[in-house]
């Protein structure tokens, strides 16, 4: 009966192909939405899970989170180094990790920070060691894989956070040395190059004391009440070039990632920073939720549209099978005369619906993963977000099963006609 | 007896077609079922094949009472004992000739016999059309293909309903000859319902249905 169902589908190949295509498009849309929404959401959650608060220059809180947590946007500006000491002096702060952004290597961001930053994401050294001296650099797993970096190799960072920005603006005077490569974590640090804050200052010609961040820590109380004013510049580099002309190059950082010691910190610290300083504090959880809700409405709309398409595909199967059952009533009667039971003939028509639906679903799932693969290769943002084409989402199985159900329901009424066929009458009409 | 009908009553919309009708057909005999339109030829065939249920009476096919059998029982008696040839409904349209015959064997016997299919197609002169779809065949080829489909399950009884009505004189004669020859070759009882006078000289056994009420054959 499987062979017969297949023969009937082949016999009206154009209709079958169109129905498969219609279902395939809807399934591909659904799978893409599921993959994008889930992978994106998981990635955001994973990247933000160990950071309670981000402190940075005034501006859009979402931009601050995107630039400092997910590394997919420009920073809002810089804040003075003293702010790190101020934050660390607060008893409700368990951990404060500084970030200094502004340069890239081959499109991968170079992040001036401390070793604690890698620990936030469970980053462990796979080869070599963690950075210790200025100009030591540790590559994230994806960076090492893509660039083919080896331990001991030197490289030169470029201005800006993306490749295009840095064209022709390399810091030739201050090359980095790869001293370590991190094991893959499935988080944002896979795509980053980590170095010390001092390295970033050295690259940009900013004078500073050795172990300045520690020094700032000790003098925290003295700087607590200071207020800072910043221009609209987005990177250390731009501001420091401007200041350089005046002969003033104060060490700065881009943002601070905070972890609270207790719940009281969550109540007090953001309010204190937002009201009493020229900096802003943004909660990754709140901004991520806001971002997902913005995406969510669009994704939900597209999801509804895709299901409407899938139901339309089911209707197309229904119409095709109903027409087939009407046009081939003689065929079905002949099958009965040849000895096929009603259930066998019913099963053949049902099988046609299921095979069409299954073909559409398989086509859609394969098509969606191919589309993700192609998109990932052509759009850097997708790979930056960690969207993978090879990851199979359990929801795809649910989509497959639902589309099969649509195919079965669409075939049910045409197939049920076999129970109403009057064999003697049909044979008499056909003869 | 391959067919034994006793005291058959059958009415269509209250009008009796058969009343106390009885008939016996011996194994391996060849019969022509004749009569004017509306005399009940096709109805009688449908009753014998279990496609219709009599109002009263017994219809035995190869010893089994098909009239009293359940629907699945009728399906079983039909697929194990009866091959049917119709005027225009010959093959399953989506399958080629060879696939039609394989399907018929699988449905009737649960297995296939490629050598029987091959010999039958050669015997009927359509061996070269094994891969042809029904719509690619001429009328004569298609009717011979229908005979092959009916015989490929090795039935005891071959029933043909107006097998030559849509054929020209030459093809009609060829199909009738083939039916007779194959029935003899394969030891099959043959019953042909027709109003085609061209077949009269070929058959010595005739069952004549004369009117709206056939009492005795």
**B89:A330 CB<8 A:** yes
Please tell me if residue A420 touches chain B, with a CB cutoff of 8 Å.
no
What pLDDT is recorded for position A247? 55
Q: Of the candidates A4, A10, A337, which has its C-beta nearest B84's C-beta? A: A337
Beta bridge partners of A98: A256
* pTM, entire model: 0.72
Which of A334, A344, A345, A349 would you mutate first to test chain B, the one with the most B CBs within 10 A? A334
Contacts of B87 in chain A (CB under 8 A): 431
What pLDDT is recorded for position B88? 76
Please tell me if residue A291 touches chain B, with a CB cutoff of 8 Å.
no
Residue B211 binned pLDDT confidence (cut-offs 50, 70, 90):
low
Query: What confidence tens digit (pLDDT) does each residue in B54-89 have?
Result: 999 999 999 999 999 998 899 889 988 999 988 777
Position with higher pLDDT, B121 vs A325: B121
**A338:B89 CB<8 A:** no
How many H-runs (helices) and E-runs (strands) does chain B carry?
6, 9
Residue B213 binned pLDDT confidence (cut-offs 50, 70, 90):
low
Under 8 Å between Cβ of A209 and A259: no
**A7:B95 CB<8 A:** yes
Please tell me if residue A423 touches chain B, with a CB cutoff of 8 Å.
yes
Q: Indicate the SS3 state at residue B174.
A: helix
Please state the ipTM of this predicted complex.
0.86
Query: What confidence tens digit (pLDDT) does each residue in A305-348 have?
Result: 888 888 888 888 888 888 887 888 888 888 988 888 899 999 99
Query: What confidence tens digit (pLDDT) does each residue in A347-386 have?
Result: 999 999 999 999 999 999 999 999 999 988 887 667 766 7
What pLDDT is recorded for position A218? 41
Position with higher pLDDT, B115 vs A173: B115
What pLDDT is recorded for position A298? 82
Residues 6+ apart with CB under 8 A from B148: B97, B101, B117, B120, B121, B124, B126
Query: What confidence tens digit (pLDDT) does each residue in A407-420 have?
Result: 999 999 899 988 88
CA distance A120 to B44: 88
Query: What confidence tens digit (pLDDT) does each residue in A210-263 have?
Result: 555 554 444 443 433 333 333 333 445 555 555 444 556 678 899 999 999 988
Under 8 Å between Cβ of A129 and A179: yes
Exposure b/e, B140-150, CB count within 10 A at least 16 = b: bbbbbbbbbbb
Instruction: Look over chain A and give the mean of its residue pLDDT values, rounded to a whole number.
Output: 84
Please tell me if residue B12 touches chain A, with a CB cutoff of 8 Å.
no
Q: Which residue spans within chain B are E strands per DSSP?
A: 3-12, 15-25, 30-34, 56-61, 64-65, 82-85, 157-161, 189-194, 205-208
What pLDDT is recorded for position A230? 37
Which of B11-15, B27-31, B153-157, B170-174 is predicted least confidently? B170-174
Residue of B nearest to A345 (CA): B107
Contacts of B108 in chain A (CB under 8 A): 338-339
Handedness of CA B189, B192, B193, B198 (dihedral sign): negative
Position with higher pLDDT, B26 vs A203: B26
Which of B41, B61, B93 would you mutate first to test chain A, the one with the most A CBs within 10 A? B93
Please tell me if residue A6 touches chain B, with a CB cutoff of 8 Å.
no
**A428:B42 CB<8 A:** yes
Query: What confidence tens digit (pLDDT) does each residue in B5-24 have?
Result: 999 999 988 888 999 999 99
Query: What confidence tens digit (pLDDT) does each residue in A23-43 have?
Result: 999 899 899 988 888 888 888
Contacts of B95 in chain A (CB under 8 A): 4, 7
Contacts of B161 in chain A (CB under 8 A): 427, 431
């Amino acid at each position: 009966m499987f062979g017969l169902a297949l023969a009937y589908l082949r016999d009206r190949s154009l209709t079958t192909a169109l129905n498969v295509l219609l279902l395939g498009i809807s399934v591909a849309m659904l799978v893409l939405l599921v993959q994008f929404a889930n992978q994106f959401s998981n990635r955001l959650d994973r990247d933000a899970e160990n950071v309670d608060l981000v402190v940075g220059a005034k501006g859009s809180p979402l931009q601050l989170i995107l630039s400092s947590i997910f590394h997919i946007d420009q920073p809002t500006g810089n804040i003075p180094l003293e702010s790190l000491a101020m934050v660390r002096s607060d008893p409700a702060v368990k951990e404060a990790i500084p970030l200094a952004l502004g340069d890239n290597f081959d499109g991968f961001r170079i992040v001036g920070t401390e070793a604690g930053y890698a620990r936030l994401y469970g980053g462990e050294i796979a080869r070599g060691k963690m950075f210790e001296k200025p100009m030591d650099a540790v590559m994230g797993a994806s960076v090492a894989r893509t660039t083919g970096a080896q331990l001991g190799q030197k490289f030169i960072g470029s201005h800006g956070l993306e490749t295009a920005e840095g064209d022709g603006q390399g810091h030739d005077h201050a090359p980095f040395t790869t001293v370590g490569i991190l094991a893959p974590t499935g988080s944002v640090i896979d795509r980053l190059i980590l170095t010390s804050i001092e390295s970033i200052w050295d690259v940009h010609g900013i004078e500073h004391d050795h172990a300045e961040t520690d020094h700032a820590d000790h003098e925290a109380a003295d700087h607590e009440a200071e207020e800072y004013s910043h221009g609209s510049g987005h990177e250390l580099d731009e501001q420091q070039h401007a200041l350089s002309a005046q002969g003033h190059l104060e060490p700065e950082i881009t943002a601070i990632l905070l972890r609270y010691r207790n719940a009281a910190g969550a109540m007090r610290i953001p309010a204190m920073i937002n009201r009493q300083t020229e900096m802003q504090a943004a909660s990754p959880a709140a901004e991520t939720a806001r971002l997902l809700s913005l995406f969510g409405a669009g994704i939900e709309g597209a999801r509804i549209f895709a299901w409407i398409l899938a139901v339309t595909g089911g209707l197309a199967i229904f119409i095709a099978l109903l027409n087939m059952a009407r046009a081939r009533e003689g065929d079905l009667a002949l099958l009965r005369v040849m000895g096929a039971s009603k259930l066998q003939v019913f099963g053949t028509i049902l099988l046609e619906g299921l095979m069409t639906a299954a073909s559409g679903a398989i086509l859609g799932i394969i098509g969606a993963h191919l589309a993700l693969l192609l998109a990932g290769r052509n759009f850097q943002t997708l790979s930056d977000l960690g969207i993978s084409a090879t990851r199979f989402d359990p929801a795809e199985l649910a989509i497959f099963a639902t589309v099969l159900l649509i195919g079965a329901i669409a075939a049910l009424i045409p197939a049920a006609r076999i129970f109403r066929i009057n064999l003697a009458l049909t044979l008499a009409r056909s003869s | 007896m391959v067919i034994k009908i006793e005291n058959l009553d059958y009415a269509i919309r209250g009008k009796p077609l058969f009343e106390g009708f009885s008939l016996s057909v011996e194994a391996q005999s060849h019969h022509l079922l004749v009569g004017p339109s509306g005399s009940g030829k096709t109805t009688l065939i449908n009753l014998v094949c279990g496609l219709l249920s009599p109002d009263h009476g017994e219809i035995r096919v190869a010893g089994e009472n098909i009239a009293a059998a359940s629907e699945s029982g009728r399906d079983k008696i039909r697929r194990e004992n009866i091959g049917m040839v119709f005027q225009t409904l010959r093959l399953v349209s989506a399958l080629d000739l060879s696939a039609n015959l394989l399907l018929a064997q699988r449905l009737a016997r649960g297995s296939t016999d490629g050598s029987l299919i091959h010999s039958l197609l050669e015997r009927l002169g359509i061996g070269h059309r094994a891969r042809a779809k029904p719509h690619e065949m001429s009328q004569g080829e298609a009717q011979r293909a229908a005979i092959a489909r009916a015989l490929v399950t090795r039935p005891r009884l071959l029933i043909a309903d107006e097998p030559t009505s849509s054929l020209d004189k030459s093809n009609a004669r060829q199909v009738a000859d083939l039916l007779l020859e194959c029935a003899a070759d394969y030891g099959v009882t043959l019953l042909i319902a027709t109003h085609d006078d061209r077949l009269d000289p070929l058959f010595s056994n005739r069952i004549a249905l004369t009117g709206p009420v056939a009492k005795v054959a």
